[in-house]
A and B are shown apart, each in its own frame.
Chain A
């Protein structure tokens, strides 16, 4: 089971350690530092590092390494999943997860970690339950605590854990009963030089914010459930009903949670909502290159593409770029060689473009690699897979809740090769 946890910042300082069993010496992290040194970038530190007596499993998020120490054969995915859960919890508690905020809230952090694991066994990892046990810090509470001397430790015990629905606390009360569902889809795609799709897939999630009194029992049905052949559910979803009727039936946790995540695989045809026309060339003879990209909408089902952002990692030999955008702003960082262009909305009548020249280091041969273009965008009110919620019903409670559903499509890892 999980023995200890070390939090390490990018400069290699251990700024927090927590042991659930006997204390493991900090020196075990030396093996991690070695691996960190070998890796060119922080992202490339291998997630599993063996040491003579322990194994170090790490995740890298928010510029912090969360390093778990285990001593025996433990499923590594279990540890990594748990670490991600820790990060999510911190984020949930403090809004952001950074070294400063963790140091500022060190007591809450310790209390939360203590509640999350018992002797290395996960105890309470649902943020609903945790928040009941240890209240997240707010400005108001901080002030109150200072004056009254009370603490964040809830005077409650985990009552939810006694029930058959451990994810929902009992005795929930709201004056406005509401249930919102967001269908968010991300397109991961690789587009080749000529504009044809090499691979494209959709990662979709349904995030819910449910604030309903009592013990409501919800059912959610889809217009086209056939799309969902690869799904992962929140534990509250009754799998049997999904298998037989393709209906999501569940008693929701209180507050925010991820009801469902799904994957529309590469075998289905995925609509690509934007295209990029590019003309990037470096000439062998001169130290100048040409650079021109245009972004335009493709299959958007009549919706506007907004929040468009183009980034591209230029080859090392690029010294500078002189570019003019037809809209938006662009930045080229000559140190990291990263070009980013904040485009904004795409107007189909007047396509945004970025043109100009590239100056190369004199004397070097033309770069071997062509830069890959990374694209970000958002389309509101559209689920690109075509998924549509049919209806939402509530049983078990008398009142009439307010229901809402939103759709959004985003770019995930959307790459255009040039």
Chain B
């Protein structure tokens, strides 16, 4: 083969020859360019020819030009300086009269991934995006995506994104398709931007383009359509009607994308509509057809069908047979088919399904056989009428004596017992025969559970359990726990003859085992049995809830979300895209998907609703930790309700920000310490109503008011500090009274405390600890009380805090649970900290409003719109959450309106409160 000859024989010495030839006559050039264009181990040699090849660019010979371009794509990276030499030719070619050459130039340009030359390419690209020829425009659209990949900032600065958006309404379908594809790709790395903002007009354009563009373009357009939110069912129906023909496309990806659009928009259609029924019927055949494709396609299709079947079982309810497994299907297809078979199993087809499953249980592949046996059990639980049949099938399988089949069968029979108690216990005898062959922990545990549960019906239950007990230490934890429980059950049922056995197991569990779970369970049983056997009976032999078949279903909200992701990787993993890493760009992406199946748009909705707390899943804040796991157990302490100030924070959030009525109420509540110093509702400079408790406390009195923006805050660096309030009343803490507040100064947070001894004895040995909280607040130093606190004495302490403690989401978010210890006892209380102590100094964007700035809320811009002052502000929390705010102030009106934009809507409520406290003081 000549091709290979050129490289394999290209040795160092020959480079010079090649060089010479490149510079010689035309015909030869081609040959050599060809040799160079191939990326190969000889790339070193080939790149040495760079200048000579670039010289060849300015040829009229099309074939040679293509080869040179190919060469450039491969080697420009290794010689970025040289690549600049090529720029001129690109610019020239972009103006060639032949549209195909223009397109070729713009296409190659983008493939040269050299940052240096990108800026030279902007002008030609801009021209090509507006080219009269659709072929050039379509190629240029892709080029924008390429450029964005190399230098995103440049693309944005040059306004290429807007041009790209305009191309969505291009007259040529191919251009539209490529523009959509390019925008979708750019949007991947820009989750926040509304690049694909669709309106009915652009939707119409897309639908028209859909019919005429290539299969690949159809995929991009359909995926884009799926993000659209029709305004009513009429529009939804008309889109569905125009998408339906795509179901007959030969390309399975087109079909699945069409299915996604239909599944989504169907939500909006009324079920009584004739069209709804027609649509349901139309969906089945294409899905079935996907299953006759190559196994890899089948796999992806099956994962998606699994979702569809859960959402709308009616679509495929008559198609059970296509999911029957063929013996030479790859294992990944087999397992998926089995899963769907169970989901489709119903009274009508259960006989067929069971016959199939029984057949599968004799196959060779162990994993598959196991799953088939499990499937029989799941059928029994799902279709009540079939339970008897399933049990007898399982018994047949146990008779085969194939080890793993028997074990698997016993595990599922246990589940059947739990679903239908007192119905099939006659089979226990058969199960007991196979006791010796069980070697897997799960099967052993299941068998022990059965023996324990039905001990009264098994004559030799004690012997059976005793035989397990012999090797107690070698068993896995699962079996040990089960054995312990089973023997206790047995004892409660037949107390007379099993006393010895139960003592044996209890001592094994509590004394010889080093597994804490086992030991604890042992102790609990022991204590229960020794103190109150009747209670023990009630606990251990309590009625168990029945299990249902729904356990393996995907949770409905997640399912709704996944339905919008049909045909994507998310649907293959059955996880929302936010749950797995989004590639190397590491973008947190589409993390707050809307709830309902009908109203979602996969476009990332990162704008938090500005009113009230959003009830969406937590995203940035770690999910609720396991309370039980918390060894401090602070939350189990005496329920000291939050101090009055704290509660008022919450209330105020719900009411109009400066609603005055509440304040006066509050003042009387707080009793002499008007925490919200701002005199309710008015903007007259508030008198500095510092509370008696904070005398001497190092705080900038929060007296600055909104009209006194510049000089309001007394201290330079200090943010607003609320007056101290009583956190722990003396009567609840054996005479120790704690009052305090939070402050932030020069980047450090501190908790300013006053400890007062109102008891008659001296207090000493103070220590403090926080429970896990939303922002990881923790004491940065131990509580320093140097001298013992005499009766009626008080001490002021400023406890520095940091935010490196362990994090757990609290309700409310700014709740802090504190434990204080002294020589008398440990006391617990909880308090709410104002969120602004967490606003970090580098949240600054610009300085206008110094009052807010004092609390690290920074103003970006100020504008006057229709007589109202609009402040655009930013702030950042210690854990990196940025919050953008728009504050609208009307000069004549004491109230103001605050709108927030934040990726973690949970915090919004507390930001409101923080604003309120700062502005009012």
Contacts and interface: CB of A to CB of B under 8 A. Distances in A.
Given A158-B100, A198-B356, A149 B569 contact: no
Given A104-B4, A198-B356, A413-B326, 18 more contacts: A43-B330, A53-B581, A71-B585, A81-B251, A84-B296, A108-B3, A110-B39, A111-B70, A121-B145, A125-B215, A155-B61, A162-B134, A199-B321, A233-B249, A368-B362, A368-B400, A372-B327, A374-B328
Given A73-B568, A81-B251, A201-B322, A104 B188 contact: no
A142 interface: yes
- In this complex, the member of B142, B256, B321 whose beta carbon has the largest number of chain A beta carbons within 10 angstroms is B321
A417 interface: yes
Contact of A230 (B99, B188, B189, B288): B288
B135 A149 contact: no
B300 A47 contact: yes
Contact of B250 (A145, A149, A198, A258): A258
A263 B70 contact: no
Contacts of A110: 38-39
A81 B297 contact: yes
B170 to A, nearest CB: 15
Contacts of B326: 188, 190, 413, 415
A370 B300 contact: no
A106 B4 contact: yes
B3 A107 contact: yes
22 contacts: A58-B296, A74-B568, A75-B253, A77-B256, A106-B38, A107-B3, A107-B34, A118-B142, A121-B178, A121-B181, A137-B1, A153-B63, A190-B326, A199-B322, A230-B286, A230-B288, A263-B289, A265-B288, A368-B400, A369-B363, A374-B328, A413-B326
Contacts of A297: none
A230 B289 contact: yes
A327 B149 CA distance: 65
Given A235-B215, A413-B326, A150 B585 contact: no
Interface in B568-593: 568-570, 572-573, 577, 580-585
Nearest to A414: B326
Contacts of A417: 359
Interface in A142-165: 142, 145-146, 148-151, 153-159, 161-162, 164
Interface string B274-299: 00000000000110110010111101
A76 B257 CA distance: 11
B62 A21 contact: no
Given A22-B113, A111-B70, A265-B319, A77 B250 contact: no
B104 A157 contact: yes
Interface string B284-320: 0110110010111101110000000000000000110
Contact of B3 (A40, A106, A190): A106
B569 A74 contact: yes
Given A58-B296, A74-B569, A233-B248, A162 B99 contact: yes
A232 interface: yes
Interface in A243-275: 243, 258, 261, 263, 265-267
A178 B594 CA distance: 57
Contacts of A266: 319, 321-322
A239 interface: yes
A280 interface: no
Interface stretch (B24-32, B865-873, B890-898): B24-32
Given A142-B1, A267-B318, A234 B250 contact: yes
Interface string A60-72: 1100000000011
B74 to A, nearest CB: 9
A377 B295 CA distance: 22
B219 A78 contact: yes
Contacts of B214: 122, 125, 166, 235
Given A75-B223, A76-B568, A104 B1 contact: yes
B139 interface: yes
A52 interface: yes
Interface in B522-536: none
A404 interface: no
Contacts of A77: 252-253, 256, 297, 300-301, 567
B602 to A, nearest CB: 10
Contact of B321 (A58, A159, A198, A261): A198
Contacts of B568: 73-76
Contacts of A369: 362-364
A190 B359 CA distance: 12
B216 A75 contact: no
Given A59-B294, A81-B297, A149-B31, A157 B62 contact: yes
- In this complex, the member of B31, B189, B327, B570 whose beta carbon has the largest number of chain A beta carbons within 10 angstroms is B327
A9 to B, nearest CB: 18
B615 to A, nearest CB: 26
Contacts of B327: 313, 372, 415
A140 to B, nearest CB: 13
A263 B364 CA distance: 30
B322 A162 contact: no
Given A114-B70, A233-B248, A44 B331 contact: yes
Nearest to A120: B185
B252 A43 contact: no
Contacts of B724: none
B766 interface: no
Interface string B129-141: 0000111000100
B264 to A, nearest CB: 15
A72 B590 CA distance: 13
- In this complex, the member of A55, A76, A235, A239 whose beta carbon has the largest number of chain B beta carbons within 10 angstroms is A76
B816 interface: no
Nearest to A232: B250
A305 interface: no
A46 B62 contact: no
A44 B336 CA distance: 13
A261 to B, nearest CB: 6
A81 B290 CA distance: 12
Contacts of A82: 216
A203 interface: yes
Nearest to B290: A77
B301 A121 contact: no
A119 interface: yes
Contact of B585 (A72, A161, A198, A313): A72
